[in-house]
């Protein structure tokens, strides 16, 4: 299908204002939130902005006819290159499907279109006493569809779980262009839990056109503690002792000195400028329980060497403490023109040793690294600060990141390659650090079952050059050799 025909066919589905195909219009779709250099950019043949599942399905069928890849896109805040059309083709932007279709307070569910902005859903439901628990730091911009595709997390996922724990059902356009529901309002859908497979599938198995998500009742009381420490080690010890004491905070976030220096002058959140690290600990639940637990946690922090502990219960005060955390990335602009956000998870007990290694890497590679992260989960986000105009800066940052990745997933540490940003293209060649060929073959099996022609979001997750079909054949061959038997 030539470009003119393609555009005409697409326009027939979504109207002329629903298709971008001029190079200037396509430019912003060559990127997502990832660092240019960490992830390759690529130009799609066209970007389509459908307004219904039927339109999405029709676009997918046209793409199939034209033998073009299809890449779903939400807000493009992804940090692993997920929404970049690596092999060109059609980008399906869900941004115009942004309606909250239904809020059911009895069932505590919301039915939303994929383009609904994460924060808007909570703002919409909070007046009635509910919120959508997954709260990525990008929540002012990112979409529910993108959250589902990346299985996004956020500070409050420590207590409430990540996106997958809040998705009850999905309406999905499959790679063959069919519209189907997975899961739903009633429990116990017969058969495999395809909803589970879809969440976190990085746009590779289906395009989400509606999501039925769980709403969480707002807690009776909330308390935020700010604990300051002389150094990161002390703060990490406090994290361990809070967890060990059997306390499950709603959120437990850490910021180091560099972060405080960027944030405090900009937002006056009240973080002590001389602290080596601060912890933000949010507790929520029944009023008495929160008060008692608050006292306990404050004592634990003091015992771990906190130089100051402040408690905030009033909303305005709490919001101010959080503001520094939420604006931390934005504040980094004060320190350097660019940053690279690294995302790995380590067991909580390995936080001190890992953070020490982060400090060493910063020195070895001569890169300032700020730490602002979900300490309660062990989800690290070292922020590497650089200036891309400086020659070799990007390469140096990537080398440092690579060093840290290897450290975190080493057998000694036992961490994960990504805690919330996904694999995409960014870490596709690192995935073999944690998964064997057999492990990947099982994942390829899932891909093959949903998308046998491999048209949805190609060149993601699996290492470069990896063909799902081939691996299956290889596995069969190995099996035949091993057992001398016929295999599939």
Partner 1 sequence: MPSEAVGRRPEGWGQAGVASANGRPTGAPAIDGLAAGRVLHPGSAAQVADALADAVSQGLAVAPLGGGTALALGNVPDRLDLALSTAALGDVIAYEPGDLVLSVGAGARLADVQALLAEHGQELPFEAPRGDRATIGGLVATAIAGPRRLANGTLRDLLIGIAVAHPSGTVTRAGGMVVKNVTGFDLPRLYHGSLGTLGVIVSANFKVVPAPRHEATVLAVTPDLAAALAAAKSVGGLASRPGALEVMLDGEGWTVAARFFGRPGTVDSAVAAAKGVLGEGTRRLEGAASTAWWRRYVDGQAIEVGPDEVMVRAAVRPRDSGSLAEAILGVIGEHGVTSRAVSVSPGLGTVVARLGFPQAPDGAPALRRVQRALLGVADHVTILAAPPAWKAGLDVWGEPPATLDVMRALKSQFDPERTLNRGRFAGHI
Ligand X SMILES: Cc1cc2nc3c(=O)[nH]c(=O)nc-3n(C[C@H](O)[C@H](O)[C@H](O)COP(=O)(O)OP(=O)(O)OC[C@H]3O[C@@H](n4cnc5c(N)ncnc54)[C@H](O)[C@@H]3O)c2cc1C
Q: Choose among partner 1, ligand X, none what residue 93 binds, the Cβ cut-off being 5 to 8 Å by kind.
A: none
Q: Residue written as tokens 């080596």?
A: 276
Q: Is residue 237 part of the contact set for ligand X (CB under 6 A)?
A: no
Complex with ligand X: residue 33 or 219, whichever CB lies closer: 33
For residue 343, how many C-alpha atoms fall within 13 Å in the half-sphere facing its CB? 19
Task: Please choose which of ligand X, partner 1, none residue 457 contacts, taking the beta carbon within 5 to 8 angstroms, the exact cut-off set by kind.
Answer: ligand X
Residue 372 near partner 1 by CB under 8 A? no
Alpha-carbon distances of 78 from 74, 154, 207, 244, 400, rounded to whole Å = 9, 14, 16, 33, 21
Closest to ligand X by CB, 53 vs 306, is: 53
Would you say 264 or 420 has its CB closer to ligand X?
A: 420
Residues of this chain, 96-115, that bind ligand X according to CB under 6 A: 114
- Find the part of the chain contacting partner 1 (CB under 8 A) among 32-40, 68-76, 116-124, 179-187: 179-187
Is the CB of 14 or the CB of 404 nearer to partner 1? 404
Q: Which two tokens stand for residue 96?
A: 């115009």
Residues 127-146 that bind partner 1 (CB under 8 A): none
Q: Do 221 and 285 form a contact (C-beta atoms < 8 A)?
A: yes
**208 belongs to the binding site for partner 1 (CB under 8 A):** no
Within residues 324-343, the interface with ligand X by CB under 6 A covers 329
Two structure tokens written together for 121: 């859903």
- Of 199 and 228, the one with the shorter C-beta distance to ligand X is 199
* Candidate list 325, 350, 357, 421; residue touching ligand X; CB under 6 A: 421
Work out which of 71, 112, 263, 298 binds ligand X, going by CB under 6 A: 71
Contact between 192 and partner 1 per CB under 8 A: yes
Instruction: Report how far apart the first and last C-alpha atoms of the chain are (Å, whole number).
Output: 36
The footprint of partner 1 on residues 379-398 (CB under 8 A) is 379
Which among ligand X, partner 1, none contacts residue 447 (Cβ within 5 to 8 A by kind)? Answer: partner 1
Asked if 305 interacts with partner 1 (CB under 8 A), we say no
Cβ neighbour number for residue 452 with a 10 Å cutoff: 12
Structure tokens at 140: 């002012």
9 is a site residue for ligand X (CB under 6 A) = no
Contact 130, 218 (CB under 8 A): yes
Number of H helices, E strands in the chain: 16, 20
Sequential DSSP letters for 273-326: TT-SEEEEEEEEESHHHHHHHHHHHHHHHHHTT-SEEEEE-SHHHHHHHHHHHH
For the beta carbon of residue 339, count every other beta carbon within 10 angstroms.
20
Per CB under 8 A, which region of 22-30, 56-64, 347-355, 394-402 contacts partner 1? 347-355
* CA–CA separation, 116 and 140 (whole Å): 10
* Cβ closest to partner 1, residue 24 vs residue 187: 187
Contact indicator for 231, 277 with CB cutoff of 8 Å: yes
> Residue numbers of the site for ligand X (CB under 6 A)?
32-33, 71-79, 82-83, 94, 114, 136-138, 142-143, 145-147, 149-150, 152-154, 202-203, 207-208, 329, 420-421, 457
């Amino acid at each position: 299908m030539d470009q003119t025909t393609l555009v005409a066919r697409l326009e027939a589905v979504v109207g002329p204002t629903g298709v971008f195909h001029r190079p200037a219009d396509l430019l912003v779709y060559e990127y997502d939130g990832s660092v240019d250099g960490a992830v390759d950019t690529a130009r799609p043949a066209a970007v389509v902005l459908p307004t219904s599942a039927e339109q999405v399905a029709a676009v997918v069928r046209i793409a199939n006819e034209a033998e073009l890849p299809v890449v779903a896109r939400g807000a493009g805040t992804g940090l692993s290159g997920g929404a970049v059309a690596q092999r060109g083709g059609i980008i399906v932007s869900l941004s115009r499907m942004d309606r909250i279709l239904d809020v059911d307070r009895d069932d505590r569910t919301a039915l939303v279109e994929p383009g609904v902005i994460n924060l808007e859903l909570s703002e919409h439901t909070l007046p009635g006493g509910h919120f959508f628990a997954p709260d990525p730091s990008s929540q002012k911009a990112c979409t529910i569809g993108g959250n589902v595709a990346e299985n996004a997390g956020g500070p409050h996922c420590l207590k409430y779980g990540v996106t997958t724990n809040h998705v009850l059902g999905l309406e999905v356009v499959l790679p063959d262009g069919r519209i189907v529901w997975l899961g739903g309002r009633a429990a116990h859908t017969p058969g495999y839990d395809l909803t589970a497979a879809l969440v976190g599938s990085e746009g590779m198995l289906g395009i989400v056109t509606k999501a039925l998500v769980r709403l969480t009742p707002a807690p009776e009381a909330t308390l935020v503690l700010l604990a300051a420490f002389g150094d990161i080690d002390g703060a990490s010890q406090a994290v361990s002792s809070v967890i060990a004491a059997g306390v499950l905070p709603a959120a437990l976030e850490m910021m180091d000195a560099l972060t405080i220096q960027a944030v405090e002058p900009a937002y006056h959140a009240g973080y002590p400028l001389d602290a080596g690290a601060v912890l933000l600990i949010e507790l929520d639940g029944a009023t008495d329980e929160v008060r008692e637990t608050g006292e306990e946690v404050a004592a634990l922090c003091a015992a771990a060497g906190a130089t100051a502990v402040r408690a905030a219960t009033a909303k305005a005060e709490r919001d101010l403490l959080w503001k520094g955390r939420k604006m931390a990335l934005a504040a980094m602009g004060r320190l350097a023109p660019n940053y690279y956000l690294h995302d790995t998870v380590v067991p909580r007990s390995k936080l001190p040793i890992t953070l020490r290694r982060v400090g060493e890497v910063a020195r070895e590679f001569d890169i300032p690294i700020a730490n602002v992260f979900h300490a309660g989960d062990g989800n690290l986000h070292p922020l590497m600060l650089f200036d891309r105009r400086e020659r070799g800066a990007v390469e140096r940052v990537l080398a440092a990141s690579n060093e840290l990745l290897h450290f975190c997933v080493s057998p000694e540490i036992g961490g994960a390659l990504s805690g919330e940003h996904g694999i995409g293209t960014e870490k596709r060649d690192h995935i073999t650090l944690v998964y064997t060929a057999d492990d990947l073959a099982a994942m390829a099996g899932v891909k093959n079952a949903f998308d046998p022609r491999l048209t949805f979001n190609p060149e993601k997750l699996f290492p470069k050059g990896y063909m799902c079909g081939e691996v299956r054949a290889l596995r069969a061959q190995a099996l035949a050799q091993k057992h001398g038997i016929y295999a599939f």
